[in-house]
Amino acid sequence: MTGDKQALQKEKLIVGTPQTLRETDFDPVGKSVVRKDVIPKVTGKAIYAGDLHMPGMLIGKVLLSAQPHALIKGIDISAAAAVPGVKAVLTAQDIPGENVFGIAIPDQQVLADRKVRFIGEPVAVVAAEDAFAAEQAVSKIRVEYEPLPAVFNPIDGLKPGAPLVHEKGNILYHTKVRKGNIEKGFDEASVIVENIYRTAGQDHAPIEPEAGFSWIDAEGVLNVFTSTQYAFRDRRQIAVVLNLPMNRVRVANMTMGGGFGRKDDVTTEILVALLAWKTGRPVRLVYTRHEAMLTQTHRHPTYVRVRTGANKEGRLTAMEGVIYGDTGAYSSLGIFVIKKMALHLGGPYYYPNYKSDSFSVYTNNPIYGPFRGFGVLQAAVSHEGQIDELAEKLGMDPLEFRLKNCLRPGLSFSTGQVMTEACGIGATLERLQQYMVENGLSFERPQEVSA
């Protein structure tokens, strides 16, 4: 390694722009360096969005929908506005620009207007002199709901006559992946296994719940200092909702207390910006753990039916699958996560014939969005289950079976893309095999436990 590095540096192969990089710029490579964020973090001096404060600061609090699916017949804020210390009680009507945002498509309301689509959807937002006044005000907002029939899983959501979460219909996105000839592939199979797999939702639970801090500075710029994974996208969306030119909005990313995907979406940013804009005062909005679990995104629950075939020699011949991904009330990244799942449903194995369909479906559940793994984890549950069962039916060692079928350079993925070098599954399995031999390990099926 060191030799390679020296060779590289000697030949000065690496040229940066605009200046040429010097050898010393590579000094940290291969060494342990102190990350510059760590000393502030171990001493408690790192500033997270929820740590910010300013003189005259107000505290924000959100009223979340108590209904999964309902028409809003009226909102009475009078008692809330009368709570001493309350400076603003805002509903959809108070939004200066467009009441819409969304990381992939703009299908989500900032504050629910006429209809709520999940328990936890923001309906109103309050700013007050302290947390207790804000909390009291939120508890005094009266919302008159007219409940609508609701749908809580994607399979029900696709049935004819299912309640419509969005007027355009419950299918957010349908992805089709086709490769080879699926009938031919199953004809060639001597063993076929077919199963249904279900995975549950999951909360990212970053230790820092979502937090944002907003104020208008002396130049009239609306600042939002926040716990976010994507400041620029937040900025664009805030500007639309507040009807401000982009150069009047500044978004800064504070030290982030964990995101794992869910702070990719807009979280508190637009709401806290609205409050600061309307009150002219600095405002801090920090979700409680409970609020964060209700109103933020989660990992997609999925329902999968998959059929996989292999021939007598132990080679996979075909895979066919359908995925129903629950994206909840709004899209978030539900288009892409569930699309990716269709691509990865077969896992890191080679299938000459492949067919998958995935449906990202709206329901009245909480919103499901990006979460590390991005659909691939859910797919792994089914492809590994299928592979194990096929190996067992064929009487083959599960590791041998995987080695025989894993993607290697020269073979094509579900999309037809031919692998060049990016696929390390073969090398990983070989290393595992070696380790098992060295340590005298073998695969044993766990004993069934009876309850």
Chain residues binding other proteins by CB under 8 A are 34, 37-48, 50-51, 53, 84-85, 129-133, 204-209, 255-258, 260, 286, 288-289, 451
Smallest distance, other proteins to C-beta of residue 147, A: 24
Tell me whether residue 50 or residue 347 sits nearer to other proteins (CB atom). Answer: 50
Smallest distance, other proteins to C-beta of residue 374, A: 18
Q: Tell me which of ligand FES, other proteins, none is bound by residue 84, counting a contact when its beta carbon lies within the kind-specific cut-off of 5 to 8 angstroms.
A: other proteins
Tell me whether residue 22 or residue 372 sits nearer to other proteins (CB atom). Answer: 372
Q: Tell me which of ligand FES, other proteins, none is bound by residue 130, counting a contact when its beta carbon lies within the kind-specific cut-off of 5 to 8 angstroms.
A: other proteins
Smallest distance, other proteins to C-beta of residue 142, A: 18
Q: Which 78-97 positions form the footprint of ligand FES (CB under 6 A)?
A: none
422 contributes a contact to ligand FES by CB under 6 A: no
Q: Tell me which of ligand FES, other proteins, none is bound by residue 38, counting a contact when its beta carbon lies within the kind-specific cut-off of 5 to 8 angstroms.
A: other proteins
Q: Tell me which of other proteins, ligand FES, none is bound by residue 288, counting a contact when its beta carbon lies within the kind-specific cut-off of 5 to 8 angstroms.
A: other proteins
Non-local CB neighbours of 320 within 8 Å, separated by 6+ positions = 182, 186, 306, 307, 308, 354, 355, 356
Smallest distance, other proteins to C-beta of residue 39, A: 5
Tell me whether residue 207 or residue 451 sits nearer to ligand FES (CB atom). Answer: 207
258 contributes a contact to ligand FES by CB under 6 A: yes
Smallest distance, other proteins to C-beta of residue 362, A: 26
114: left (phi over 0), alpha (psi -120 to 50) or beta: left
Q: Tell me which of other proteins, ligand FES, none is bound by residue 51, counting a contact when its beta carbon lies within the kind-specific cut-off of 5 to 8 angstroms.
A: other proteins
Tell me whether residue 213 or residue 362 sits nearer to other proteins (CB atom). Answer: 213
CA distance 195 to 386: 8
Tell me whether residue 108 or residue 227 sits nearer to other proteins (CB atom). Answer: 227
Smallest distance, ligand FES to C-beta of residue 285, A: 18
Q: Tell me which of ligand FES, other proteins, none is bound by residue 97, counting a contact when its beta carbon lies within the kind-specific cut-off of 5 to 8 angstroms.
A: none
Number of residues this chain uses to bind ligand FES (CB under 6 A) = 2
- Cβ-closest residue to ligand FES? 207
Smallest distance, other proteins to C-beta of residue 451, A: 5
Options 1, 33, 207, 451; binder of ligand FES; rule CB under 6 A? 207
Query: What b/e string do you get for 294-311 counting C-beta neighbours within 10 Å, with b at 16 or more?
Result: bbbbbbbbbbbebbbbbe
Smallest distance, other proteins to C-beta of residue 35, A: 8
Q: Tell me which of other proteins, ligand FES, none is bound by residue 209, counting a contact when its beta carbon lies within the kind-specific cut-off of 5 to 8 angstroms.
A: other proteins
Smallest distance, ligand FES to C-beta of residue 204, A: 11
Q: Look up residue 351 and give its two tokens.
A: 């299938």
Q: Tell me which of ligand FES, other proteins, none is bound by residue 440, counting a contact when its beta carbon lies within the kind-specific cut-off of 5 to 8 angstroms.
A: none
- Check: CB of residue 156 under 8 Å from CB of residue 170: no
Tell me whether residue 259 or residue 328 sits nearer to other proteins (CB atom). Answer: 259
If DSSP states are collapsed to H, E and C, what string results for the chain?
CHHHHHHHHHHCCCCCCCCCCCHHHHCCCCCCCCCCCHHHHHCCCCCEHHHCCCCCCEEEEEEECCCCCEEEEEEECHHHHCCCCEEEEECHHHCCCCCCECCCCCCECCCCCCEECCCCCEEEEEEECCHHHHHHHHHCCEEEEEECCCCCCHHHHCCCCCCCCCCCCCEEEEEEEEECCHHHHHHCCCEEEEEEEEECCECCCCCCCCEEEEEECCCCCEEEEECCCCHHHHHHHHHHHHCCCHHHEEEEECECCCCCCHHHCCCCHHHHHHHHHHHCCCEEEECCHHHHHHHCCEECCEEEEEEEEECCCCCEEEEEEEEEEEEECCCCCHHHHHHHHHHHCCCCECCCEEEEEEEEEECCCCCECCCCCCCHHHHHHHHHHHHHHHHHHHCCCHHHHHHHHECCCCCECCCCCECCCCCCHHHHHHHHHHHHHHCCCCCCCCCCCCC
Tell me whether residue 107 or residue 208 sits nearer to ligand FES (CB atom). Answer: 208
Tell me whether residue 422 or residue 451 sits nearer to other proteins (CB atom). Answer: 451
Smallest distance, other proteins to C-beta of residue 336, A: 23
Q: 58: which strand partners?
A: 283
Tell me whether residue 104 or residue 128 sits nearer to other proteins (CB atom). Answer: 128
Judged by the rule CB under 6 A, the positions of this chain that interact with ligand FES are 207, 258
